[in-house]
Structure 1
């Protein structure tokens, strides 16, 4: 599939759903009109035949039933209308995303962590971040899972390949993807944390171990006795009303203890329905990849998650009804409705306590994979990398995934031995930092099983660690230089502990003077090589180019040049072998009138 075909698929979906949406709006208007006619007709008949009590009552009864049926159908049409609106909105947002407008998606800026190995340096989170370009999750747990997957990707070849196969399969099911997302957006799933919900419910007063557990059996007997006595005219109306008032008081007694439970349930009923439908999508789909089959199996242990969650929603809804007037006046006095369904929910939680974690872990995994599948679908020119058995990072035409494809300059990367470092020199603005981030982002995408922006890539999933954007900290009374030293020490310590790292550093030891910087940079490079490190170092210090002579099997020089011709500065952004020849700092200062050079 080409990019134009991807765009066409979204445009076709939008057109088809707009036709359906127009029809739904028309039908909604017609049903609304019929409901009004039914009400007016009922009023007119009752007014005209008011003296005929049986006809009036029959008319009111039939009108009420018809009105309720039409209301139910009306609500169903509104759900279908909202579903079509979401399909259209999502497709329109995807078309914007293909053109690098990700404003409709959550970049999860709150998850950015300067202490993480590469999160801040590679702009993983926030506006116009790689996470924002990928994230299409519809559940809070799915968003967390996607973030965790990117921050802590797998280092095992089999896991990465399994994820690739799952993403490929989901990518081939665009209708499933669109359906899952639209269903997930029908209600606020963020409001439901089932683990906390279960804990909150369990911590509230329990009635299953008290005398109240017998009341759902006792109250119907008491109600039947009272109604029978009144029906047989053994007791008078006043006595019956007093008797029924006592039953109402007994039925209402537990409500104050159930209030906190009801409050935790009231806003979650729609979320429970949504989760039930999401689980059902996973359970009923046919999958071929082993990872998707495993996720599906997680939702079917003992009992399907969809039916169990649906049952919980039904219990919760019934418990909620015990707080309404029909519940207080009829259901609680006759059946102890509130206790009956509180105990059912308690038993549900006890029965599924262990299942809940597995179910919601499964839906979180599936939700995060859906996001990656959309990313793959929207980038048909990307390629799935090959996972190597030994260290290497060899790429052809590697590009930065966040730079517009029309202007992105793509470069090769060749790291085929261990230990090995590329030393990249070059002028300001020539492309060194972009090159480092290009490698880092594509390495991250490769490790999470996603396709990468390259013609080909063969890599080994070493742990990535970067130092591209160190900052000082006033809060910790910490200088820029000391903060950088802490970062570099962390890298050294991890290498010494035996970790296999892929290291990307940009202009190391920026916070000290030139002589110290050169000496320190050379010493650091030698130590990294001696500790079997691997990666890329970008620097302005051309003297680091001498390391290739000292370590011909472990260091290779590359450069980004600035071309100055006829007082005009230009860049190709193409990487070349060797040490940089042209620097542009003095030229730029002169052009800006900053110096008299």
Structure 2
């Protein structure tokens, strides 16, 4: 178990706009091979992983940012991805100069256009039109006419007739060109970055497939560089020169001929583009992870075990500055948490879920110790009515929990995170259904963390659940929360006292106290 401690918290959090429609592009189009679990949208929202991503993202490039997002949305199958991440971190840790050089080199890919590189190996290319032969013929005729005009000036009349036709084709192609005008120049820069990194001793003798891919894309670089040069010219030359260049390109149909020729070559080199992308983006993820770790008060790399137990020490929520750290140990048993509102139950459940995911994806836990099995993470925390779909809160929760029940029987080890099961129905049925669902979920070696206000539920789950609670402390007219998890069942309640402290009318408080005493007496006499 590797751990680190920092006295001063220096988050280094990115500011500015996060364009998630572009950031998630690689993840959305990525296949399911070598993926143990794809984190669902519900769990992503329940655990506030979008905000967590904003916090942990210390990447310096757009490609690295996309790959980091993919990391936290997919738990890998096997250890090859995390071992590669660990290898990069080890190399960069031993050579601070290389770390600075790599960061500076990769940061050149921080433009928004770099988000489109993934389309070159993940998406279908625009097909050549069936009449592409006509484009080639017209381009050849234009070149021949210009050459012949030096000897036969009358040919210029033919060019004047030909130019409107070529202009039409040229601007027809513009819509297609815009689709690749961003990605192709950035691909050239991506490969150049990879080639420069290969010159260092640490990477020179690395993966031969990756090195081969860099050489292959180098051979295509001359063709692709035309797009890079054009983009540079458009930003530097005057308007008159730009119009002149546009006329020349239109006359010779340079853009459609060059674009479709380039796409044909790249279509056969998708794997090479993917190899180079994963190397550069993976290195950026390693740099980001190192920067994240160095900003934390403490962190650890997880220890993985084969049995279904959790041993967690000094774990904290990454988004709560100077938050309270907690410990918990579960040995083939789940955990039921009781406590009042605002005492920390749901935050603790989210904390465990976030750390379980990040521990398996970027090998970084916000804790001093985190021992866990390899497991999938599922949740039912943030449920709301679907008014447009005419679904009640209870029906929404029924459908969500049914999905969890199905996941529990897949054969994988699962961690289920639930908050206030079935609070959309009456207390008797809520406790009955809750007990049945929780008992079912724990079968097959699954672990469950669930919060509840129903203390009676604990009496039915003692065989499979350890009991914990959070509580507040009332000191005179003040309410304090220590946010510390404590073993055992909650034995005291302060809900009515909190109403009194918040200046509720005395008749409301007294009536509540009277009814509460009656119901407790009736329960004790049963």
Q: Does the alignment reach a TM-score above 0.5? A: yes
Q: Deviations over 1:173-210 (max 9, x none)?
A: 54245324531235633466654999665344654x35
Secondary structure (helix, strand or coil) at the match of 1:581 reads: coil
Q: Answer yes or no: is 1:470 the counterpart of 2:380.
A: no
Contact 1:393 1:457 (8 Å CA) reproduced? yes
Cα distance in 2 for partners of 1:509, 1:198 equals 42
Aligned equivalent of 2:483: 573
Equivalence map 1:512-527=2 (5 Å)? 512-527=425-440
Secondary structure (helix, strand or coil) at the match of 1:438 reads: helix
Aligned equivalent of 2:57: 135
State the shift of 1:257 in Å: 1.4
Cα distance in 2 for partners of 1:301, 1:191 equals 19
Aligned equivalent of 2:46: 121
Structure 1 pair 316–412 and aligned structure 2 pair: CA distance change class (3 A): closer
State the shift of 1:364 in Å: 5.6
Aligned equivalent of 1:402: 319
Q: Answer yes or no: is 1:350 the counterpart of 2:267.
A: no
State the shift of 1:514 in Å: 1.8
State the shift of 1:399 in Å: 0.8
Q: Deviations over 1:279-321 (max 9, x none)?
A: 222233258999x955x84474284435534531316857999
Normalising by structure 2, report the TM-score.
Answer: 0.77
Contact 2:125 2:267 (8 Å CA) reproduced? no
Secondary structure (helix, strand or coil) at the match of 1:120 reads: helix
Q: Which has the larger radius of gyration?
A: 1
Structure 1 residue runs without a partner (length 5+): 8-93, 230-239
State the shift of 1:412 in Å: 1.4
Structure 1 pair 337–201 and aligned structure 2 pair: CA distance change class (3 A): farther
Aligned equivalent of 2:514: none
State the shift of 1:422 in Å: 1.1
Q: Answer yes or no: is 1:160 the counterpart of 2:82.
A: yes
Structure 1 pair 193–529 and aligned structure 2 pair: CA distance change class (3 A): closer
Contact 1:180 1:281 (8 Å CA) reproduced? yes
Structure 1 pair 262–323 and aligned structure 2 pair: CA distance change class (3 A): farther
Q: Answer yes or no: is 1:391 the counterpart of 2:303.
A: no
Contact 1:184 1:278 (8 Å CA) reproduced? yes
Aligned equivalent of 1:379: 293
Structure 1 pair 446–105 and aligned structure 2 pair: CA distance change class (3 A): farther
State the shift of 1:408 in Å: 1.1
Aligned equivalent of 2:173: 261
Give the alignment partner of residue 402 of structure 2, picking from 482, 489, 510: 489
Cα distance in 2 for partners of 1:469, 1:514 equals 20
Aligned equivalent of 2:150: 227
Q: Deviations over 1:113-170 (max 9, x none)?
A: 9963511110112xxx111113355776655543333222224344433333334545
Cα distance in 2 for partners of 1:400, 1:257 equals 58
Secondary structure (helix, strand or coil) at the match of 1:509 reads: coil
Cα distance in 1 for partners of 2:202, 2:490 equals 48
Give the alignment partner of residue 325 of structure 1, picking from 221, 244, 247: 244
Aligned equivalent of 1:313: 225
Structure 2 residue runs without a partner (length 5+): 29-37, 235-240, 511-526
Secondary structure (helix, strand or coil) at the match of 1:396 reads: strand
Aligned equivalent of 2:284: 370
Cα distance in 2 for partners of 1:342, 1:466 equals 50
State the shift of 1:470 in Å: 1.1
Q: Answer yes or no: is 1:359 the counterpart of 2:273.
A: yes
Structure 1 pair 323–265 and aligned structure 2 pair: CA distance change class (3 A): farther
Normalising by structure 1, report the TM-score.
Answer: 0.69
State the shift of 1:435 in Å: 0.7
Cα distance in 1 for partners of 2:122, 2:433 equals 55
State the shift of 1:436 in Å: 0.5
State the shift of 1:528 in Å: 2.2
Contact 1:195 1:356 (8 Å CA) reproduced? yes
Give the alignment partner of residue 509 of structure 1, picking from 418, 422, 425: 422
State the shift of 1:574 in Å: 1.6
Aligned equivalent of 2:31: none
Cα distance in 2 for partners of 1:436, 1:314 equals 54
Aligned equivalent of 1:81: none
CA-based RMSD of the aligned residues comes to 4.0
Cα distance in 2 for partners of 1:124, 1:532 equals 26
Secondary structure (helix, strand or coil) at the match of 1:379 reads: helix
Aligned equivalent of 1:48: none
Cα distance in 2 for partners of 1:288, 1:555 equals 54
Secondary structure (helix, strand or coil) at the match of 2:300 reads: coil
State the shift of 1:447 in Å: 1.4
Structure 1 pair 567–328 and aligned structure 2 pair: CA distance change class (3 A): closer
Structure 1 pair 145–191 and aligned structure 2 pair: CA distance change class (3 A): closer
Contact 1:467 1:504 (8 Å CA) reproduced? yes
Structure 1 pair 449–186 and aligned structure 2 pair: CA distance change class (3 A): closer
Structure 1 pair 123–480 and aligned structure 2 pair: CA distance change class (3 A): same
Aligned equivalent of 1:545: 458
